Structure 1
Amino acid sequence: MSSIFITGATSGFGAATARRFAKDGWSIVITGRREDRLHALAEELSGQAKVLPLVLDVQDRAAVEAAVAGLPEEFNQLRALVNNAGLALGNTPAQSCDLDDWDTMVDTNIKGMLYCTRLLLPRLIAHGAGAGIVNLGSVAGDYPYPGSHVYGATKAFLKQFSLSLRSDLLGTGVRVTNIEPGLSESEFSVVRFGGDKAKADAVYAGTEPLTPDDIAESIHWALNQPKHVNINRIQLMATCQAFSNFNIHRNS
């Protein structure tokens, strides 16, 4: 039975992805920091698939090592890894941002992804043809906007790392895809604005953004292509969103 390992599964894209693969009967490892949500999702999906909830902070290398080493046999035949855990914090200009926010974004979006990838790669390579890694990037990795600084830079790293990983994995049969969503409504903005839901809601006011289910379908599609097909990148945006015009500062 195919097994999938999903980080950041307690909400948003991660939870939607778990639900989508449960419909197909995959064995699913769901990870996240919020134990109550993790076990609630596991209970929800238990009638459709085998589910292993792991309380895990991907920033903690030792914890990731222990989690991977302790995977039960029934979840050990890994076919897919979805590196979804990630976040944006704040949107103030770089010159006035909180350095702790920068540390957290780098530790989660980059280092956490690297830990999970490196430690699970041997299992994916052992599976061979048809196995795959999906990294959750962002259009912010291509198109900067005010306040995106480190968040956008972490997603640009993710894009380049995904392409480089493809080179290293040539001949193993393991595929790598970078999914790059644009405007998407989940808990992303609530986290970004420190729990200020009114401020987060204002981001989506008057729009029809992408949903977690939209992203989960893209992940499902990429991982279920024929074994000889690798989807390098999927960049998707809400129809109501387009690329920003260049900003120009003019002297008064």
Structure 2
Amino acid sequence: MSKLVFITGATSGFGKAAAEVFASNNWNLILTGRREDRLQSIKTELETKYSISIYTLVFDVQQKAAVFAAIQSLPENWQAIDVLVNNAGLALGRDNFDEADMDDWETMIDTNIKGLLYVSRAVLPYMTKRKQGHIINLGSTAGKEAYEKGNVYCGSKAAVDSISKGMRIDLLPHHIKVTAIHPGAAETEFSMIRFKGDESKAAAVYAGYTPLSAKDVADVIYYCASLPAHVCINDLVLTCTAQANSFYTYKG
């Protein structure tokens, strides 16, 4: 019997790459995102390629009512969720604290923190009912060490780190595993979104070295999800070889 993974932010980046890795390993998928056309395209592609089943939900993780309505609408045969991948997240702007756009702050907090909380709480009843499950939260090296002009983004990912620790303790009686994965620099749409479409600024982030790819991170997500039921990787930081942490990168 195929296992079932629920992935947020599945229309691009780590989420889309994770969808392909899980599908290639015969998992069925619940994919969520804001862009229905992209979700449908990914669904068609992966179902055709891997002969698995995919259910899609269109919502913005920032909208609590929409999150709960969508997840509570899952048909009974789609409720046995084995793994939740809380991937939806973003960075907006890279500015000094006293000059930053506070709307950017709100969006990062609402997506990176509140969105993760909403989705987790909505999915958990399906896991606690079965006394099993695995939640994988995507953090960042930015949550481990703050860097210049990272302020609220770094803070939002530090919150993911702490929330994951708290989840892990509180969910022990339900036999639910919690893993936090903290990637370093990875070449996805991340920097284009952060710099609001400025291609030169986005490209400069990855100049002079080979960053992680979305598939690199997706492979690690899948590895954590595929371990035996009694084994949990609690906390994992991964970077490319050129990066030591959130602010030391060798550009040769």
* Superposition TM-score, scaled by structure 1 size: 0.94
User: What are the within-5 Å matches in structure 2 for residues 139-218 of structure 1?
Assistant: 139-218=141-220
AA of the residue aligned to 1:148: G
Please name the residue that 1:63 is paired with.
66
Give 1:199 deviation, angstroms.
1.5
* Superposition TM-score, scaled by structure 2 size: 0.94
SS in 2 for 1:165: helix
Tell me which stretches of 4 or more aligned residues in structure 1 moved more than 3 Å: none
Give 1:128 deviation, angstroms.
2.7
User: What are the within-5 Å matches in structure 2 for residues 37-186 of structure 1?
Assistant: 37-47=38-48, 48=50, 49-129=52-132, 131-186=133-188
Structure 2 CA distance, aligned partners of 1:44 and 1:137?
A: 28
SS in 2 for 1:82: strand
Number of equivalenced pairs:
244
User: What are the within-5 Å matches in structure 2 for residues 225-244 of structure 1?
Assistant: 225-243=227-245, 244=247
When residues 74 and 24 of structure 1 are mapped into structure 2, their CA distance, relative to the original with a 3 A threshold, is farther
Q: Percent identity?
A: 48
Give 1:74 deviation, angstroms.
2.6
Could you tell me which runs of 5 or more consecutive residues in structure 1 were left unpaired when the two chains were aligned: 246-252
Give 1:171 deviation, angstroms.
2.5
The CA RMSD measured in Å over matched residues stands at 1.1
Q: Which moved more, 1:81-90 or 1:192-201?
A: 192-201
Matched, 1:36 2:34: no
Structure 2 CA distance, aligned partners of 1:197 and 1:25?
A: 37
Structure 1 CA distance, aligned partners of 2:55 and 2:39?
A: 9
Contact 1:165-1:176 at 8 Å conserved across structures: yes
Structure 2 CA distance, aligned partners of 1:90 and 1:65?
A: 29
Structure 1 CA distance, aligned partners of 2:181 and 2:130?
A: 22
Structure 2 CA distance, aligned partners of 1:164 and 1:170?
A: 10
Structure 1 CA distance, aligned partners of 2:203 and 2:40?
A: 27
Please name the residue that 1:3 is paired with.
4
SS in 2 for 1:229: coil
SS in 2 for 1:230: coil
Q: Deviations over 1:174-193 (max 9, x none)?
A: 10000000011100000000
